[in-house]
Amino acid sequence: MKAIHFGAGNIGRGFIGKLLADADATLTFADVNQPLIDQLDHQQSYQVNVVGENSKVERVNNVRAVHSNSPDAVRHISEADVITTAVGPQILEKIANTLAKGLIERHAQGNQSPLNIIACENMVRGTSQLKQHVMRLIPQNLHLWVEEHVGFVDSAVDRIVPPGDAANDDPLSVTVETFSEWIVDGTQFKGTTPDINGMETTTNLMAYVERKLFTLNTGHAITAYLGKLAGHQTIRDAICDPLVRQVVKGAMEESGAVLIQRYGFDPVQHAAYIEKILSRFENPYLRDDVERVGRQPLRKLSAGDRLIKPLLGTLEFGLPHNNLVKGIAAAMCYRNQHDPQALTLVSLLDEKGVEGALMSVSELTDSNIVAEIAQAYRVIQTSLAA
């Protein structure tokens, strides 16, 4: 199996790239960071430190690397069996041009073998969005060929991979938690589903996409925002604060009630899932700064993301949402001079006031819920000023 993975950062190397390598794929990373590319292509291996309940050190070998915009990347696409990404939601559109060139080259070579593309991003149906970007760049006369031979497979991914200081003898070393989950839409593959241990197929992907979004992502973000307000530096420090933990767990229970209503998840099993997430946040071996997790607050406060979407679910089903409201208010309070989105948020608050800024960012239209969040925001601001 030939695989090319876009995004050679910590997540790419420590999660998806590692699973591909473990599946004995001939693996090539594609990235725009030339020093990183050169180091990977020189070493052709790197160390993965798996920390948590079953800590261990593993090594990924026989990997290569190319620049994402190079002819080499196009050639690899034309020959690949699997293409994966871990570049970030905002970068998918930027790699679409290379993917389109690779598919055009693949057609020109007469390669009829099935190809499956899987975007492993922290977003809902990221591969479907990537497909839209790619198809706009493919000549109309090749659209039918692409539909017949290329599977665009949506996925849900979950593994905490914080930035870490690499060891001096291995600048590519990466640290990951023990837990990982990679669930893909089994109905979207072309040809035989790749045999990759750690990749699970489902016919109901949205249930698992929202389970992860409403639990891990919701809890992670609220932990970061409340933790920063409380003066904590790391996610572990924040979640070990009883006041923070109470709100975070309450918010995940509120979002979980939505999932149980919408998808029929077992309440007992979902409660255990929440406890598992909380224990992951407590992992003493993972140093994850609240500022890193809280960055890009405008994206996290958007209508389809981890804070507003579960809140809308509680309104849909008439469920409690007091802790979610506190978490959203805390996100509105996020301040970081080095984060462009945080600076934009402050400008919006100054220009439009709390209610106006919130409605602009989140697209909330329910005046009652907007008023609830605004009141919670003002309570936080008053306590900060005291």
Question: Binding site for NAD(+): residue ranges?
Answer: 3-14
pLDDT greater than 60 at residue 165: no
Q: Per-residue confidence at 299, pLDDT binned at 50, 70, 90?
A: very high
Q: Looking at per-residue confidence, does 162 or 112 come out higher?
A: 112
pLDDT digits (tens, 9 = 90+) for 110-120: 999 999 999 99
Average pLDDT over residues 28-46: 96
Segment 299-316 mean pLDDT: 96
User: If pLDDT is split at 50, 70 and 90, which confidence band does 194 have?
Assistant: very high
Q: What is the DSSP letter of 214?
A: I
The CA-based angle 285-223-272, given to 5 degrees, is 75
* Helix 267-281 / helix 218-229 crossing angle, nearest 10 deg: 40
In this prediction the pTM is 0.85
Question: What pLDDT shows up at residue 385?
Answer: 85
| Rounded Cα–Cα distance for residues 64 and 16 (Å) | 15
pLDDT at 224 over 50: yes
pLDDT over 70 at 33, yes or no: yes
Binding residues: 3-14
Q: What is the mean pLDDT of the chain?
A: 95
Residues in the chain: 386
Domains of the chain, start order = 2-202 (3.40.50.720), 206-385 (1.10.1040.10)
pLDDT at residue 124 in the model: 83
Q: Write out pLDDT tens, residues 227-260.
A: 999 999 999 999 999 999 999 999 999 999 999 9
Confidence band of 263 (pLDDT split at 50, 70, 90): very high
Please enumerate in sequence order all residues whose Cβ is within 8 A of that of 332, keeping only pairs 6 or more positions apart, or say none.
297, 301, 345, 349, 354, 357, 358, 373, 377
Q: In the predicted model, is pLDDT for residue 168 greater than 80? A: no
Secondary structure class of 24 (helix, strand, coil) = coil
Of 28-37, 119-128, 196-205, 358-367, the range with the lowest mean pLDDT is 119-128
Ranges 104-108, 177-181, 194-198, 214-218: which has the least confidence: 177-181
Q: Is the pLDDT of residue 176 over 50?
A: yes
Judged against a pLDDT cut of 80, whether residue 170 lies above it is answered with: no
User: pLDDT confidence of 162, banded at 50, 70, 90?
Assistant: confident
pLDDT for residue 77 is more than 50: yes
pLDDT band at 222 (very low <50, low <70, confident <90, very high): very high
164 band by pLDDT with thresholds 50, 70 and 90: low
Q: Helix, strand or coil for residue 190?
A: coil
pLDDT over 90 (residue 285): no
Give the mean pLDDT of 219-225.
98
Spatial neighbors of 262 by CB under 8 A, at least 6 apart, are 207, 210, 313, 317
* Alpha-carbon 173 to chain mean position: 21
Reported as a single tens digit per residue, the pLDDT across 319-337 is: 999 999 999 999 999 999 9
- Per-residue pLDDT for 166 more than 50? no
